[in-house]
Amino acid sequence: MDWRKTIPQGLKDTTTELYVNTVEKRSFSVDCALGSSPIGAPCGVVSAFGKTFGEDLSSYVPPSERLTEPICRFWKGLVSPEELVFANGTDTILVVLAKALGSPGGRILGMAPQFTDAPVHFQLSGCDFKAVNLKGPSYEIDTYRLLEALDDSISLVYIDRPHNPTGQLMSLDDLERIVMAADKRDALVIVDEAYGDFVDESTSCLNLKQDNILCLRSFSKGWGMAGIRGGYGVFRSPFARDLYLRVSPPFTVDALAFAAIPMALDEAGEFLPSMRREVARLKRKTVDTITESPRFSVAKTHPSVSIMMVTYDDRDANLYDMLMEHGIKTAPGSGFLGIGDNSVRLRVPPEEQFEDFRTRWRDMVSSLPR
């Protein structure tokens, strides 16, 4: 289904002439435009943070002014400035996208399980949700079943890649097949690469050129900056980007992110490969600990993605509670469509906690009835 036909006419007809978006090319000496304080921040705040954040501490700054150039430089020509949108994380981009693109009459295709928030927000906007159920215990993504489900009723496709909760990575060739099939039906494909920095940039959907791709990226996961809150989207469709900007707040990233994100991107050549190797090493140890235990399995997963899905073969069990009783917190299976309480999403523990994790895991296993 042509995704453009599902956009409410009121949004199509609305031109947002917000004063905060006024672009003035003429020179000026005194800026009395936006509502920032003429006094500035308290002295203690300025003393503690002023040297780092400068004028960004007290000013309203469009994220594009600080982040467009370093992100485009990082992607080495794969991303153009006019394709970018910014927010404090990919989850916020999804909320705004649901408001901009979701409406009664639209239908979004996804999987079960996958990151639940995306289809939920589109459903709240009036969309139908069609899920392809992945089959346990491997929960391997079946591209052909997705292609079969991608019929003329679909206006949007949502793919989290790497996949959440399993951590598996759909191949770029398979993704391209889905994107091209969606394009034939005038459907948009939202590729959520929130966990994308755990794998090489050559695997990103940004290497594909089709204009029906919306790619979402985050600094919360692989970059290790969840507390800083920064994310961005690359919209190949100019109309989709325009609709997004009509409903998105203008100042969605803060001064800390403005300082930290360019600094992190400058270290990408050294940091990202090292981070991926370390995550892969810890993940091997974690998977070995789990799979040596009878009746436990790990779904198909990528070796350097920090998350995995673990399943206990007793369908009546609550694995989340079992682990909590032994001091290990995970994400419960009940938070994902299509899996039961006997599964959890488990993030790889850090090195300094690994031995404690292994001891507690083995204690949990030894406490189970034989």
Q: Tens digit of pLDDT for each residue in 29-53?
A: 887 878 888 888 899 999 999 988 9
d(CA 349, CA 191): 27
Does position 129 have pLDDT exceeding 80, yes or no?
Answer: yes
Does position 121 have pLDDT exceeding 90, yes or no?
Answer: yes
Least confident of 26-40, 254-268, 300-314: 26-40
Q: What angle do CA 256, 258, 260 make, to 5 degrees?
A: 65
Does position 184 have pLDDT exceeding 90, yes or no?
Answer: yes
Does position 82 have pLDDT exceeding 80, yes or no?
Answer: yes
Domains in the chain, start-ordered, CATH in brackets? 17-268 (3.40.640.10), 270-366 (3.90.1150.10)
Q: Which three-class secondary structure state does DSSP give residue 84?
A: strand
Q: Which three-class secondary structure state does DSSP give residue 121?
A: helix
What pLDDT, on the 0 to 100 scale, is given for residue 34? 81
Least confident of 13-22, 89-98, 209-218, 326-335: 13-22
Does position 154 have pLDDT exceeding 90, yes or no?
Answer: yes
Average of per-residue pLDDT values in the chain = 93
Predicted confidence band of residue 12 (pLDDT cuts 50, 70, 90): confident
Distances (CA, A) of 126 to 95, 149, 182, 225, 314: 13, 20, 21, 33, 37
Averaged pLDDT for residues 197-210 = 97
